[in-house]
Amino acid sequence: MNRPNKVNIRYGLVGANGKMGAEIQSYFSSLGDLCVLRKDRGVFEEIERPQVIIDFSSPDAVFETIELCRKYSCGLVIGTTALTEEHFARLKELSEHVPVVQSYNFSTGIAILKRIVKEYASYFEDWDAAMVEIHHNQKKDAPSGTAKMLKQVLGREIPISSIRVGGVFGEHTLIFSNSGETVEITHRALSRRAFAIGVRNAALFVLGKKKGFFSYDDVLESAQAR
């Protein structure tokens, strides 16, 4: 999944001035993709119609992004966190017309971790469990969307400790413990490039779909099936 596809993408980017937005533009540009629409607070630049729109902004910008997708009749890849039930309702409504891929984490490693947790969760039913997640000191939401996603996969309530420090890209540790032993499972992002690769995988996936609401798990399963 880390091998770049030779298809060139014309994409729109909401949250273009953010750290993740900058990483997406850097990685996509290195593969010959063209950002034809850029949107951020006080910024709107449009060159031509995008094939897909990518949103890594803030919850208050999501409804405008949905309207852009309607305007251009193009699919959406959204990694914006702290979404509400109303956001999901509107995104699923949009997905009746165009393809939408939503995930709080586009790294392949986290997708694999989710599968591991799902498969082995029953083995830890009688163990205490907790999670520690660490991110850079500019991240606003806590717990992170990824932490919430992992807790949902685990299928039970667990305490989550959120640490915001320095420039950490993202680290999630699941801890299982009983009176005699402890098991820890950690995913650590070493750069934002890991997420940008996943975003591009999702964008290519969207180009091959007519409509529907998808997760990054669907993107990976589609790639494995080929």
Active-site annotation holds for 139: yes
71 annotated as ligand-binding: no
Active-site residue among 6, 87, 139, 211?
139
Spatial separation of the C-alpha atoms in residues 216 and 204, rounded to whole Å: 12
Active-site annotation holds for 87: no
16 annotated as ligand-binding: yes
Is residue 50 within 8 A of residue 10, CB to CB? The reply is: yes
216 annotated as ligand-binding: no
19 annotated as ligand-binding: yes
167 annotated as ligand-binding: no
Active-site residue among 114, 135, 151, 187?
135
DSSP-derived 3-state class of residue 147? helix
Spatial separation of the C-alpha atoms in residues 92 and 41, rounded to whole Å: 25
65 annotated as ligand-binding: no
140 annotated as ligand-binding: no
80 annotated as ligand-binding: yes
Contacts of 204 (CB under 8 A, 6+ apart): 5, 7, 9
Q: Which two tokens stand for residue 133?
A: 């997640």
136 annotated as ligand-binding: yes
Contacts of 161 (CB under 8 A, 6+ apart): 130, 131, 132, 133
1 annotated as ligand-binding: no
For residue 133, CA distances in Å to 28, 50, 150, 193, 220 come to 28, 35, 11, 19, 24
84 annotated as ligand-binding: no
Range list of β-strands (E), 67-154: 75-78, 99-102, 128-135
* Residue list for the binding site for NAD(+): 15-20, 79-81, 103-106
Name the residues annotated as catalytic: 135, 139
* Residue list for the binding site for NADP(+): 39
* Residue list for the binding site: 15-20, 39, 79-81, 103-106, 136, 145-146
* Residue list for the binding site for (S)-2,3,4,5-tetrahydrodipicolinate: 136, 145-146
